[in-house]
Amino acid sequence: MDTDISILLPTRGRVAQMRRFLDSLAATAESPERIEIVLYLDHDDPDSQAIADKRLRIVKLLGERRPLGVMTNVCYAASSGRYVLLCGDDSVFRTRHWDHAVKKMFARFPDGIALIFGDDLIQGPNLATTPFLSRTCCRLLGGPCPPIYQNEYIDTHIFDLFLKLGELGHHRLIYLPNVVIEHMHHVVGKAELDATYLSKMPCEQSHALFAALEPLRAKQARILERHIREAAPPAAALGPVRPETAQGLRL
């Protein structure tokens, strides 16, 4: 069966959170059989390797603990979905048929270039903490994210890239406020501060890396802009995207 959405998910030592994640996905997706979850699992984490769910299609990749950017790209290389979701094991799907809403919005952009995201109940429209991208977009970018990122700032990198695309005249930041993928993060008291969170704590080096990659984001925005321009059908063939469902956001 064809895969609509591939969820790219490195995880370690969070079996309970993963069970909650999988339960919420199975309970809310309109077409769970068309979704695959691609897990990157550490070779020395047998508890996570034992994760299974007969309701869902799970792909398991085993390897050494590596930078999050590398593991995310490894998951992408093993995925098959038309769209990908970069997601953490501390997320919970709260909206029924969220997958239908995401696919319906992507259909408004035949060129495949859009960053679609819902409400994580923390950042809201201000940051795409669970970004959906098309495979076309990932291919143009050389992967869903730069592999150099250790832990933090991947979502910020992607969000800023699409802000830059907006500055080039293509507002493709699409916020779906009625699609809730809750981020159960410790900073708002929804989880305990565990070893995984501690390993991801923001640091000056992470911020410096994000700043240093600004020229890359500018280059990537130009690549996407050129693809949009070259793929554009006659203007009359495109229907408008209603502002209440698709917003060109500014920070």
Spatial distance between the Cα atoms of 234 and 59, rounded to a whole number of angstroms: 40
Q: What is the per-residue pLDDT across 70-124, written as a single tens digit (0 to 9) for each? A: 999 999 999 999 999 999 999 999 999 999 999 999 999 999 999 999 999 999 9
Q: What is the DSSP letter of 48?
A: H
Map tokens 């909206």 to a residue: 95
Q: What is the DSSP letter of 187?
A: G
Map tokens 């038309």 to a residue: 82
Selection from 48-52, 231-235, 245-249 with the highest mean pLDDT:
48-52
Q: Please check whether residue 175 is in contact with residue 117, taking contact to mean a CB–CB distance below 8 angstroms.
A: yes
Q: Please check whether residue 85 is in contact with residue 130, taking contact to mean a CB–CB distance below 8 angstroms.
A: yes
Neighbour count for residue 222 (Cβ, 10 Å): 13
Fold of 5-230: Spore Coat Polysaccharide Biosynthesis Protein SpsA; Chain A (3.90.550)
* Token representation of residue 96: 């029924």
Spatial distance between the Cα atoms of 233 and 128, rounded to a whole number of angstroms: 28
* Token representation of residue 171: 């507002």
Q: Please check whether residue 48 is in contact with residue 11, taking contact to mean a CB–CB distance below 8 angstroms.
A: yes
Confidence of residue 190 (pLDDT cuts 50, 70, 90): low
- Find the range with the poorest average confidence among 9-23, 83-97, 235-249: 235-249
Q: What pLDDT sits at residue 194?
A: 53
Whether residue 231 is predicted with pLDDT greater than 90 in this model: the reply is: yes
Spatial distance between the Cα atoms of 71 and 57, rounded to a whole number of angstroms: 19
Domain boundaries, the chain: 5-230
Whether residue 245 is predicted with pLDDT greater than 80 in this model: the reply is: no
Confidence of residue 1 (pLDDT cuts 50, 70, 90): low
- For residue 29, give the amino acid letter: A
Spatial distance between the Cα atoms of 130 and 136, rounded to a whole number of angstroms: 18
Map tokens 């070893």 to a residue: 195
Q: What pLDDT sits at residue 251?
A: 26
Mean predicted lDDT score pLDDT of the chain: 89
Q: What is the per-residue pLDDT across 28-70, written as a single tens digit (0 to 9) for each? A: 999 999 999 999 999 999 999 999 999 999 999 999 999 999 9
What residues pair up with 11 in beta bridges, in sequence order?
Answer: 41
Write down the pTM of the prediction. 0.88
Neighbour count for residue 69 (Cβ, 10 Å): 22
